[in-house]
A and B are shown apart, each in its own frame.
Chain A
Amino acid sequence: MPYSQEISRQNKGCFLFLADQSYSMVEPLGGTGNRKCDDLVTAINGWLQNMAMRASSSEGTKDWMDIGVIGYRTDKDENPIIGPALGDALAGRNLVSITEIAANSRIESRIQILPDEETGGVIEVPVEVPLWISPMAEGGTPMCHTLYMAHQILEEWIAQHPKSFPPVVINLTDGETTDGGNPIEYAESLKSLATEDGNVLLFNCHLSMTAADSLMFPSNYELLPDDFSRLLFQMSSELPESLVQFANKKEGFSLQPGARGMVYNADMVCLIKFLDMGTRVDKKLR
């Protein structure tokens, strides 16, 4: 049965984020006052922190997954600028181990919102949080080039980890590709890569500027509202069966069989849920 290999030190997992850094990412997310690029970075940094904590054990950080964050944008002349977005000591590397993630963050102060038991409202508390990536917004959206680069990175990784749970690619974007290709072809090519445990999983998240109704993990092509959502649907892998069951039983979703790993018109809450659910591919991550 595909998608059943446990993620472990012997059979590492791999999560690759493709982060849209086009100029439109300065727009607000979901009708709020926050910029998409800031919220995107906050969500990915939060996910990385969560993974670093999960990997920690009494014997130090478990070296059980490799992680990459690839940013994509263009310069003024529409030339793609695609490359690793992890900063500081990890700069320039497409994939790093979770042990390196855990050991190489910079700490900054942020405001965390916590529930206030007394009033039922929320309180704001300054906290020190680890950060790995920074916001960036410039130029266009060279999505096809980026999917091609992901293909190259993962082809190499798969050759080294043939028995592993297949890599999970999470593409986070606010718009259509501007580099002229048909992203479905590039997505198909990426999804055709496989380990012995199954094909690469490609999940896509579309961020909305307005407070539009969102659509999470749809299963019915006919019920999609427009061409771009249909394109993302075709680009996106089906969620593995065990993930659908987990989402339905434990997380309050009611997903249908064949649900695709995509969200359309995401706001910040959708984005965080999507990153969380889309990466809970292994029992140990649930």
Chain B
Amino acid sequence: MSAASAASPGCVLLLIEESAAMTAQIVDGLKSRSASVATFVNANLAQLQTHAGLEIGLVGYRTDASGSPFVGSRWAGPLAGSEFVPADRLGGSELRIENRTRKLPSGGSEEVSFPIWYDPTTEGQAPRKAAFEHAARILTDQVAKAHPGTMPPLVLHICTDVSSDGSPLEAVRSIQALTTNLGSSLVFHLQLALGSGVPAACYLATRAHIPQGLGRDLFDAASILTLPFVNALKEAKVMVNSGARGVVCHARPLDLQRFLSLLKAYAGAGSMIGKTPPSPGPNAPPPVPVASSAVRATVRPPGKSTPPAASPAVGKPAEPVRPAAPAHPSVTNPTWPAQPTAAASAPGTAPAYALADETVVPSAVIESVPTPISEPSLSMTPSMGASSNEPRRAVVLVLDRTVTDADAPDAHNVWMRLQERGNEILSQLAKSAGAACEVAMIVYGGDVAGQVDLRSEFEGPLAGRVFVNGEEIGTGALRTEEYEEQLSNGVGGLITLSRKKQIFLDHPPAASCSCRPAFEEVCRLLREWIQNTPQAVRPAIVLHLTRGKHDADDLDFAAAAVRGLEPGTESAVLYHLVLTEQPMKSFAYPDRSSDFGDLGIAKLWEASSLLLGREALKESRPFLSDESRGIVINGKFDLLWPEGAV
């Protein structure tokens, strides 16, 4: 520490929104947002006075009466005109010293001297882009004249509402690109809560839990926490996941105080500043699959009934599933454990399941022209609970993230609409599928390297799981969003209900790629599931949610591959829900392809299986015929499985 301190002092920049939105009362506090920020800023500045050599910048941003950005240094009094002030010059350069009353842990209170350096004015809007551009300029100068052995700069940005002048991301990136010998500059953000309804989200490692909007933007613009900050936060009993970013959304006063205390962690960091924490840390997120031969057992959540005819494993955590699972008497839980997707092919590791060589569909099958399969008669009745002998059904959602223009605004993006449908279907399954239904989802799209990015696990609370039964899905949402649903009131009016919707899927759109690897994965997972399901199995349903742009060969492959899954006598079925990027007429379960006027869609129709249960459903749905296929174009797939419409 002492060796490094010769050169290690660096510079910090406090970048603070001063828009009119900062005059609102801070959520869970008594003062205005602006006054609370000033209090914590001043309190933390006071604690930095002893860190000789540390340079401190204080920049505020708002718009003035004419609407022009007013961005610049907020040092005032004796420090007015400085961009950066050495920490040891703070003492004696205060604007003023106030007497404030401090509550004591014992219950009493005492008078303390409280030095004030920052005394903000609030007005107008939040020109965040201009603010970060200004910050980039002064930090560039600062780094240029600093000793290369100093710490890279740290920016602590505090804001509350959306930017008024566009995205600051580019300017943030230019700050993060400033480096010294000790590492890259760090930019952390804190957004004060706008309302009390949403809990604070602190130092997350994935943006999946943050709704779209400012929080997401800040997450994207935040640096990953390095070791000194992780340690400081853990000391303050803040849970920090591996790979967590310096970002706090919907912050309350306590979150603000902890965020600003990162100043002290920086001041004491020295050469450790760029060091990344070991991964995974003791507070790591739910484990993610790694390429190894270890098979993780899935523990049933408490409270879920175990099938009565079960096994020696009743009452105990489920035992690890062995490769010989199909015949193993202890396997009663058909929920598939997290399956490392790379394991089977990783050199030097034994495949977790002795199945890999069986998953390849023979080329003869691939080349055969798919024809609609005949399906067995359906005599099952709806059932909510799963008795041990009740037949199981697997439902696999295959989601196509590919879009023509991944940078198009979300609202116009076909993947965002497909993903919403996917979330709706998962929510419906959570409500009505029951324990006898096991759901998996596979999300695919092209990555920047031109490879297929394939994900076959739930994220969030069910992280690492591949098959989840209908009763469990509801516990696996990444987050819950409120929305208003309008319904017919039955007498010619509408009622509006406040609803919560669960978000299970949250991925960005991706570049084009083949769907073939996704369907190889579907087959691999389903074969494994079938082998590990001792109960009778109903035909699996594979629903492909897609914008419909596929090579004919890939669709032939998908259809043949899914159809090739024949547990007993019943083939799995392949359905399609197509939302088109270009306007196209809606179709629901069409029985011919001659009306499409689009060869690609006609090919999807060919690849789709006949709709299960169409004979029974035909009664109430006259648009169905004996030849209706499981494909919906630009509509809702509301007849997902024959036991009940979704």
Q: Is the C-beta of B490 less than 8 angstroms from some C-beta in chain A?
A: yes
Q: Contacts A210-B586, A225-B584 given: A112-B622 contact, CB under 8 Å? A: no
**Residue in B491, B583, B586 whose CB lies within 8 Å of A212:** B586
**Residue in A113, A120, A211 whose CB lies within 8 Å of B638:** A211
Residue pair B491, A42 in contact (C-beta under 8 Å): yes
Q: Is the C-beta of B623 less than 8 angstroms from some C-beta in chain A?
A: yes
Residue pair A268, B495 in contact (C-beta under 8 Å): no
CA distance A122 to B621 in the complex (A): 25
Q: Is the C-beta of A202 less than 8 angstroms from some C-beta in chain B?
A: no
Residue pair B498, A120 in contact (C-beta under 8 Å): yes
Residue pair A269, B488 in contact (C-beta under 8 Å): yes
**Residue in A33, A112, A115 whose CB lies within 8 Å of B497:** A115
Residue pair A45, B492 in contact (C-beta under 8 Å): yes
Residue pair A50, B493 in contact (C-beta under 8 Å): yes
Q: Contacts A122-B495, A269-B494, A272-B494 given: A209-B488 contact, CB under 8 Å? A: no
Residue pair B489, A114 in contact (C-beta under 8 Å): yes
**Residue in A31, A111, A223, A273 whose CB lies within 8 Å of B490:** A111
**Residue in B487, B492, B620, B622 whose CB lies within 8 Å of A46:** B492
CA distance A160 to B30 in the complex (A): 65
Closest to A39 in B: B488
Closest to A27 in B: B622
List of B residues within 8 angstroms of A122 by Cβ: 487, 495, 497
CA distance A142 to B496 in the complex (A): 36
CA distance A224 to B496 in the complex (A): 29
Q: Is the C-beta of B167 less than 8 angstroms from some C-beta in chain A?
A: no
List of B residues within 8 angstroms of A225 by Cβ: 583-586, 634
**Residue in B488, B584, B586, B621 whose CB lies within 8 Å of A272:** B488
Q: Contacts A28-B620, A120-B498, A211-B588 given: A42-B583 contact, CB under 8 Å? A: no
Residue pair A272, B492 in contact (C-beta under 8 Å): yes
List of A residues within 8 angstroms of B488 by Cβ: 39, 42, 113, 268-269, 272
Residue pair A31, B638 in contact (C-beta under 8 Å): yes
Q: Is the C-beta of B389 less than 8 angstroms from some C-beta in chain A?
A: no
List of A residues within 8 angstroms of B499 by Cβ: 120
Residue pair B623, A27 in contact (C-beta under 8 Å): yes
CA distance A44 to B492 in the complex (A): 7
Residue pair B491, A269 in contact (C-beta under 8 Å): no
CA distance A27 to B638 in the complex (A): 17
Q: Is the C-beta of B486 less than 8 angstroms from some C-beta in chain A?
A: yes
| Docked complex: B476-512 residues within 8 A CB-CB of A | 486-499
Residue pair A209, B495 in contact (C-beta under 8 Å): no
Q: Contacts A211-B636, A213-B635 given: A49-B588 contact, CB under 8 Å? A: no
Instruction: Give 16 CB contacts A-B under 8 Å.
Output: A112-B490, A115-B496, A124-B490, A129-B491, A209-B622, A210-B588, A210-B589, A210-B632, A211-B632, A212-B588, A212-B634, A213-B634, A213-B635, A213-B636, A225-B586, A273-B494
B contact residues vs A (CB 8 Å cutoff)? 486-499, 579, 583-589, 620-623, 632, 634-636, 638
A contact residues vs B (CB 8 Å cutoff)? 27-28, 31, 33, 39, 42-47, 49-50, 110-115, 120-122, 124, 127, 129, 208-213, 222-226, 229, 265, 268-269, 272-273
